[in-house]
């Protein structure tokens, strides 16, 4: 999973979240990846624009308008996912963080 908004990889990693927070972060990432994609845009254009006699020119114009917006939404989503991870890890007690860190190191 590559993200544009990089943070300190040693301090803020998804594997350093507790199980509940990790499940939430994974669900957020999956939702973002599955909904905010070029394939969804293409499917939308094929289903609704071309089938409503919009034609290729209208389809191209809609694609050119929608793709940058979807990219913006993806970046915004990535930003919020990173903030979620940072906020959760920063909210853990030092003891809980150290325990999660040991667990993560044991899985590597």
- Examine residue 57 and state whether it is found in any structural domain, yes or no: yes
Residue-averaged pLDDT of the chain: 86
- Examine residue 56 and state whether it is found in any structural domain, yes or no: yes
pTM, full prediction = 0.77
Long-range contacts of 18-23 (CB under 8 A, 24+ apart): 18/88, 18/92, 18/96, 18/100, 21/85, 21/88
pLDDT-derived band at 20, boundaries 50, 70, 90: very high
- Examine residue 2 and state whether it is found in any structural domain, yes or no: no
pLDDT at 1 over 50: no
- Examine residue 60 and state whether it is found in any structural domain, yes or no: yes
Task: Give the Cα separation of 86 and 83 in Å (integer).
Answer: 5
pLDDT-derived band at 9, boundaries 50, 70, 90: low
Contacts of 11 (CB under 8 A, 6+ apart): 89
pLDDT at 3 over 60: no
pLDDT at 64 over 60: yes
- Examine residue 27 and state whether it is found in any structural domain, yes or no: no
Q: How far is CA 55 from the centre of its chain?
A: 32
pLDDT at position 8 is 61
Full domain range(s) for residue 100: 38-107
- Examine residue 22 and state whether it is found in any structural domain, yes or no: no
How many other β-carbons are positioned within 10 Å of the β-carbon of residue 28? 16
pLDDT at 5 over 50: no
Instruction: Specify the 3-state DSSP secondary structure of 79.
Output: helix
Average pLDDT over residues 43-67: 81
pLDDT at 7 over 70: no
Task: Give the Cα separation of 59 and 106 in Å (integer).
Answer: 51
Q: Per the structure, how many domains does the chain have?
A: 1
- Examine residue 100 and state whether it is found in any structural domain, yes or no: yes
pLDDT at 94 over 70: yes
- Examine residue 101 and state whether it is found in any structural domain, yes or no: yes
């Amino acid at each position: 999973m590559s993200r544009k908004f990089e943070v300190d990889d040693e301090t803020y990693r998804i594997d350093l979240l507790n199980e509940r927070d990790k499940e939430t972060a994974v669900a957020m990432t999956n939702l973002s990846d599955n909904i905010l994609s070029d394939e969804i845009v293409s499917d939308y254009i094929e289903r609704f624009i071309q089938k409503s006699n919009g034609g290729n020119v209208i389809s191209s114009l809609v694609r050119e308008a929608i793709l940058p917006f979807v990219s913006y939404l993806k970046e915004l989503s990535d930003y919020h996912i990173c903030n979620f991870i940072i906020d959760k890890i920063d909210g853990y007690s030092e003891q809980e963080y150290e325990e999660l860190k040991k667990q993560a190191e044991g899985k590597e």
